[in-house]
Structure 1
Amino acid sequence: MDKERLIFAPSTKQYTRATLSRLALNPDPVEQFHGWFDEAKTQNVSLYESCTLSTAQLPSGRVSSRVVLFKELDKKGFIIYSNWGTSKKSKDIKSNPHAALNFFWRELERQVRIEGRTEFVTPEESQAYFSTRPRDSQIGAWSSPQSSVLGSREELDGLVEASAEKFKDVETIPCPPFWGGLRVIPYEIEFWQGRPSRVHDRFTYTRESEDAAWTLSRIAP
């Protein structure tokens, strides 16, 4: 019988860049996020706009995650854009409207966790963003049956070629009906600042409904 292998990768990194106190936090977590996001952008954090979107399908409860690009933050919530026709996350959202986002900015030793319910943005909003994408990306959105099984790379390339031919004389490519924006309306937002010896600073803003006031609490690392 083969012996079980325990893979252990000890980390010696100590988080020493900054601290986080209640007095330093904005009473509005959305404004606090704006501040941290802008800092990540100006500090040249690698892929500062990337985040992990986690969803869960009911009734099984199986959770799936993927890295997506955060695109917009309006008064209601955080918006990402994707395929909602055939993707695994689309099936999750159809059965369970709750989702979570996680930003990790390694260079700043910071993390932001967001939990909330989801809703789709309007077709007009989706078209407005879709029109800003490179043309090749627009054609790709029309072509890919995201998460569906493919027989070969050639099959996918053929779908792209067919879409390119379909829209070759179209100046403004319309947004696919199965593609668009998903807004995560936050009910909990956590700000995490790494500290030495893993005794991190963590503050969480919570509320019971979209119209309720936020409650700010320090929580244990």
Structure 2
Amino acid sequence: MDKAIADLRKDYSLQGLAETDVDANPFVQFRRWFAAAQDAKIIEPNAMTLATSTPDGKPSARIVLLKDFDERGFVFFTNYTSQKGQELAENPQASLVFWWAEIERQVRISGHVEKVSESESDAYFHSRPVNSRLGAWVSQQSQVIPNREVLETKFQELQIQYQNQEIPRPPHWGGLRVIPAEIEFWQGRPSRLHDRLLYKHVSDRTWEIYRLSP
């Protein structure tokens, strides 16, 4: 290696984050930051780490894509029988992390998870490209398979089966909404003295804001 891993470092200096900079509503603040990430031409600014765990505390994490958000929470779609789907069915608590390196920002979200409505899942499913809809039927997500040909053969069979037909949403596929109890906005600063502002949900639409030590 040309450079030791321990020597890899970057000093953050683009901007700061003061309490007077943020909105009292964390969803409004998230919308501002998400728009800034889009303006920065970040590839897939909606990519987020989703962390789940089993009831006995064994964690797992992966990247998923945010597909919608409002004051009800943050929505992604998946196969409910996948590892994450099963873990969330047994332990409906999760954390999300957005990392936007180009603007030196991170957002952490944690809260309760529940399924979105059938109509919301249907609407999103039917907005997807045809091949993505077929893929939802092909993949038994997280299951062991003997080879890739199994997927390709099933995909070709479904292409023929649903040629010129509406593709229904699989019953095992749909949306999940993370309903946040906490949302943290992190802005990189020099000397690792980063700015961290934490919103904690109090009641209804009321949130309290705390500054955390970096």
In which range does the TM-score fall when normalised by the shorter chain? over 0.9
1:199 matches 2:199: no
Cα distance per residue 1:168-198 (max 9 Å; x no partner): 131x312111111100000000000000110
Q: TM-score, normalised by structure 1?
A: 0.92
Please give the secondary structure, in 2, of the residue aligned with 1:53: strand
2:25 to 28, 36, 48: 28
Alignment partners' CA distance in 2, 1:195 and 1:181: 36
1:105 matches 2:100: yes
Equivalent residues of 2:12, 2:190 under 8 A apart: yes
Please give the secondary structure, in 2, of the residue aligned with 1:35: helix
Task: Give the alignment's Cα RMSD to 1 decimal.
Answer: 1.3
1:42 to 24, 39, 43: 39
Q: Which residue of 2 aligns with 1:121?
A: 116
Equivalent residues of 1:72, 1:79 under 8 A apart: yes
Please give the secondary structure, in 2, of the residue aligned with 1:9: helix
Please give the secondary structure, in 2, of the residue aligned with 1:131: helix
Alignment partners' CA distance in 1, 2:174 and 2:10: 40
* Displacement after TM superposition at 1:110 (Å): 0.0
Structure 2: state its 5+ residue gaps: none
1:51 to 19, 44, 48: 48
* Displacement after TM superposition at 1:43 (Å): 1.6
* Displacement after TM superposition at 1:161 (Å): 1.7
Q: Which residue of 2 aligns with 1:180?
A: 174
Misfit runs of 4+, over 2 Å: none
* Displacement after TM superposition at 1:44 (Å): 0.6
* Equivalent AA in structure 1 for residue 7 of structure 2: P
Please give the secondary structure, in 1, of the residue aligned with 2:86: helix
1:213 matches 2:206: yes
Cα distance per residue 1:5-44 (max 9 Å; x no partner): xx74323311011100000010000000000001111121
Please give the secondary structure, in 2, of the residue aligned with 1:145: coil
Alignment partners' CA distance in 2, 1:84 and 1:28: 31
Please give the secondary structure, in 1, of the residue aligned with 2:6: coil
Equivalent residues of 1:144, 1:159 under 8 A apart: no
Cα distance per residue 1:85-119 (max 9 Å; x no partner): 2x100111111000011000000000000000001
Cα distance per residue 1:105-140 (max 9 Å; x no partner): 000000000000001011111110111111000000
Instruction: Calculate percent identity across the aligned residue pairs.
Output: 43
Structure 1: state its 5+ residue gaps: 1-6
Equivalent residues of 1:78, 1:185 under 8 A apart: yes
* Equivalent AA in structure 2 for residue 46 of structure 1: I
Q: Which residue of 1 aligns with 2:90?
A: 95
Equivalent residues of 2:110, 2:181 under 8 A apart: yes
Q: TM-score, normalised by structure 2?
A: 0.95
1:151 matches 2:146: yes
* Equivalent AA in structure 1 for residue 77 of structure 2: Y
